Chain A
Amino acid sequence: MANNPYKSQSDKAFWSRSVSTNFDSQNLIDSSTQLLRGKDKVTSAGSCFASNLVPYIESAGLTYLRTEQLPHVFSSLGQNLGYANFSAAYGNIYTTRQLLQLYLRSLGEFKPSDDKWVQEMSVIDAFRPGLKFPASSVEEFELHTKSHLRATREAFETADVFVYTFGLTEAWVSRIDGATYPACPGTIAGTYDPKKYEFRNFSVEEIVSDMAIFVEKLRGRNPKVRFILSVSPVPLVATATDQHVLTASTYSKSVLRVAADELSRNLKDVTYFPAYEIITGPQAPIEYFEDDRRNVSKLGIEKVMNTLIQSSGLVSRSVLIQKQDEVDEEKAEMLSSRITQIECDEVMLDDQL
Chain B
Amino acid sequence: MLQEFTKSGTWRIYGGLDPEILIAGHSHTFAMFMALQQNKKFQGAIGLVSHANFDKQIRPDNEYWDFIVEQSSGKNLAISWNGNEHNLHFLIDTKMKFNSLNLNSGSKYPFVTLSQIKESFRPTFYELELILSRFPDRSKICLLGTPPPKSQTLLNSKIQDDEFFLEMGEKIGIQKKDIRASSNELRIFMWKLTQDLTEKSAKELGCVFLPAPAESFERNFLLREIYSVDDLTHANPDYGLLMLEKIAEFFGVSVG
A and B: partners?
Answer: yes
A binding-site residues for B, Cβ under 8 Å: 68-74, 77, 122, 132-137, 139-140, 143-144, 146-148, 150-151, 325-329, 331-341, 343-347, 353
Beyond A140-B101, A331-B173, A336-B92, whether A344 also contacts B168 by CB under 8 A is no
Is B254 at the interface (CB under 8 A from chain A)? Answer: no
Q: Which partner residue on chain B sits nearest A324 by CB separation?
A: B95
Contacts of A69 in B (CB 8 A): 96, 110
B binding-site residues for A, Cβ under 8 Å: 26-27, 56-59, 82, 84, 87-99, 101, 107, 110-117, 119-120, 165, 168-169, 171-174, 179, 182, 231-234
Cβ contact within 8 Å between A338 and B101: no
Cβ contact within 8 Å between A353 and B168: yes
Contacts of A336 in B (CB 8 A): 87-92, 182
- 30 residue pairs A–B, Cβ–Cβ below 8 Å: A69-B110, A70-B112, A73-B89, A77-B119, A137-B101, A140-B114, A144-B113, A147-B99, A147-B111, A325-B96, A328-B94, A329-B96, A335-B91, A335-B92, A335-B169, A335-B172, A335-B179, A336-B90, A336-B91, A336-B182, A337-B89, A338-B168, A339-B165, A340-B232, A343-B232, A344-B27, A344-B82, A344-B84, A346-B57, A347-B58
Contacts of B97 in A (CB 8 A): 71
Cβ contact within 8 Å between A73 and B120: yes
| Nearest CB of A to B167, in Å | 9
**Interface residues of A, dominant DSSP:** helix
Q: Which partner residue on chain B sits nearest A76 by CB separation?
A: B120
Name the one of A73, A135, A327 contacting B113, with C-beta atoms under 8 angstroms: A135
Name the one of A136, A332, A337 contacting B174, with C-beta atoms under 8 angstroms: A332
**Interface residues of B, dominant DSSP:** loop
Contacts of A329 in B (CB 8 A): 94-96
Cβ contact within 8 Å between B113 and A331: no
Q: How far is the CA of A203 from the CA of B67 in the complex (A)?
A: 72
| Nearest CB of A to B88, in Å | 5
Contacts of A140 in B (CB 8 A): 101, 113-114
Cβ contact within 8 Å between B95 and A143: no
Beyond A69-B96, A345-B27, A347-B59, whether A339 also contacts B113 by CB under 8 A is no
Beyond A70-B112, A335-B168, whether A343 also contacts B98 by CB under 8 A is no
Contacts of B171 in A (CB 8 A): 353
| Nearest CB of A to B21, in Å | 23
Contacts of B96 in A (CB 8 A): 69-72, 325-326, 328-329
Contacts of B93 in A (CB 8 A): 332
Cβ contact within 8 Å between B26 and A70: no
Name the one of A72, A148, A327, A347 contacting B111, with C-beta atoms under 8 angstroms: A148
Q: Which partner residue on chain B sits nearest A341 by CB separation?
A: B88
Q: How far is the CA of A147 from the CA of B95 in the complex (A)?
A: 17
Beyond A332-B174, A334-B172, whether A339 also contacts B232 by CB under 8 A is yes
